[in-house]
Amino acid sequence: MTKNPLLNIKDLPEFSSIKPAHVEPALDELLKNNRQLCEDLLSNNDHYSWDNLVEPLEIADNELQRMWSPISHMNSVVNTPELRDAYNAGLPKLSEFSTEMGQNQALFAAIKQIRDDKEFNLDAAQQKSLDDSIKSFRLSGVDLPEAEKKRYGEINKQLSTLTSAYSDNVLDATNAWSKQIADKNDLAGLPESALEQAAQAASQRELEGWLLTLEFPSYYAVITYADDRALREEIYRAYSTRASDQGDDPALDNSENMAKILQLRQEKAQLLGFNNYAELSLDTKMAESPQHVLEFLQELAEKSHPFAVKEYQELKTFAQTELGLDDLQAWDISYASEKLKQQRYSISDEDLKPYFPVDKVLEGLFKLVEGLYTIRIRQQEISETWHPDVRFFEIYDSQTDQLKARFYLDLYARPHKRGGAWMADFCSRFQSKQGLQTPVAFMTCNSAPPAGDKPALFTHDEVITLFHEFGHGLHHMMTEVGYLDISGISGVEWDAVELPSQFMENWCWQREALDLFAAHYQSGEKIPDELFEKMQAARHFQSAMAMVRQLEFSIFDMRLHMDTTIDSAAKIQAVLDETRRQVAVIIPPEFNRFQHGFSHIFAGGYAAGYYSYKWAEVLSADAFARFEEEGLFNPDVGEDFLREILQVGGSRPAMESFMAFRGREPSIDALLRHSGLVN
């Protein structure tokens, strides 16, 4: 048999060699080896230690991670039916293995013995790692009676299958819709860059004219700029009904998946002794309780809602008097908002795009973090990636020239690639007898690709997204922790994981930082002062409307997972409708099925955790305020942030890390100020 490229990956994955047929055999072999190793370690020792139990299991876990992460990643970025089938076949096996390990009584007893044994002199990070493990055993049902343990395992397997099916339906529904336009006049209002993208999309599929899709850059351009109201309505309807009972394909309807996911989560929580899934979710987070979270969100809602009402009223008045839109509809809001912004501030996203060519943005981003954290980033040419657009970089310590980390960057939207932006890891920093493993990250965005002979030009929002994901990447890559389950972002409470990413967004508004990366793609000139001032003036345009929208999602998510009675899509809709009545200023049309594509909570890690964005934004705004107070490029503050936040990973509670950097507990004031929500 030919060598399986997923086994014994020595350095980086050989993406071009990986075939769907390799997945199950590699996974089966590693799971079998890992089970045998655990059995051998537990039977051959009478006195367990970190060296004779924890580290060998970490080495085996690491090999499994290195095998599976390229498959999980490729399933998201170069999805094919064959790869999807192989990936989905692996999920229940991984779930079963994870449950088995989490319910292994002998392993649990051994880990507790190591934690309690005073002779080992474990360092603080090792103690935190073992404490996390002990909690994880309890949350895996290690203490349950046999029949309930079995049911717990069945629930986890079903959940892994259902969440993947949910995600697949969203991707397929996104890919299924397109609209060919033969007459350019039908696209009146669209900026030149969007027309070029649409023409390129058509030619790539050997079609005439222009092609609109539900990939976000295409959708965003139409909903924001198209003068044709019927076209805006058509694409809005297609986008907001993806994978739902209102969509075109009943086979892609996520209604049943959502209801089943929520029922299984509730059952799992009750098995473990929690009243609801929200309580289970928060057991490993910073927030104390679901009620505590709702109080936090409602406080923000109370402070921002009056501003949002005022903003929306202004928009309705403008739409009526200036655009003749007496009945402002959901598909008019982005369009009317863009026109109002242009009238009020004489600025549009398109005015800024020429100043954000991809290479200059990357160069400036790297220059910024190199200055803050004494590192150097170099691009490397490698032949092995999953797509020709992918770039590869290495990070070095600028004082010692030692290699710190490596990362892949996949920036552009394309068919068969999941929407959104994210950071995932191929492997973490890991110190073992085998040596030091250098962390490797996958960073993914969905910006508009280059068109014709022009470079890719980012909107300011796309620049912010890139900086956000790079913040996650730095959290993963800059860690100095060498224990696998608390290295980088591992072991960090989920509601603190967004701190380093949202922190990075702040630089996108600072003149000194913009001057590092904003330069016109033709002339090379920096953003003129007049344009910069307009950009700053428009910074808080409709920020309260944006705030209440995020609060709507967060409160909906938390209430959904506190409700123990949900057994249908209709009940999910009822929770969303009730939440909107309380906090939203825009009530979407009845056909809107936002929840059917809310992958963060139904297929990502944000179930009863979407509030984390706002929670961590309080932390990140307050952390950035220290740079504002002591100097944006103050090397001492940068060094403190690196040492107290980025390098410690999950080796201590996030609140301790924040207080070590800030010298006090977080305050909500900086967030309100950064959002323009103070009188």
Q: Which residues are catalytic?
A: 469
Q: Is the separation of the CB atoms in 432 and 58 below 8 Å?
A: yes
DSSP of 312-355, one letter per residue? Answer: HHHHHHHHHHHH--SS--HHHHHHHHHHHHHHHHS--HHHHGGG
What residues pair up with 444 in beta bridges, in sequence order?
Answer: 410, 422
Q: Is the separation of the CB atoms in 380 and 438 below 8 Å?
A: no
What residues pair up with 397 in beta bridges, in sequence order?
Answer: 375
Nearest residue to 73 via CA among 28, 27, 3, 18? 18
Structure tokens at 325: 């839109």
State the Cα–Cα distance between residues 597 and 550, nearest whole angstrom. Answer: 15
What residues pair up with 178 in beta bridges, in sequence order?
Answer: 213
Nearest residue to 471 via CA among 499, 442, 513? 499
Angle of CA points 318, 322, 325, to nearest 5°: 75
State the Cα–Cα distance between residues 350 and 339, nearest whole angstrom. Answer: 12
Q: In the block, which residue shows the tokens 């900026």?
A: 191
* Residues near 524 by beta carbon (within 8 Å), at least 6 away in sequence: none
Nearest residue to 651 via CA among 123, 125, 136? 125
How large is the greatest C-alpha to C-alpha distance in the chain, in angstroms?
A: 82
CA-only gyration radius of the chain, Å: 25
State the Cα–Cα distance between residues 134 and 325, nearest whole angstrom. Answer: 60
Angle of CA points 435, 441, 442, to nearest 5°: 145
What is the number of other CB atoms lying within 10 angstroms of the CB of residue 346?
Answer: 13
Strands (E), 416-498: 422-427, 430-432, 435-437, 440-447
Structure tokens at 71: 């498959």
DSSP of 36-77, one letter per residue? Answer: HHHHHHHHS-SS--IIIIIHHHHHHHHHHHHHHHHHHHHHHH
One-letter identity of residue 488: G
Nearest residue to 33 via CA among 6, 57, 50? 57
Distance of CA 678 to the CA centre of its chain: 29
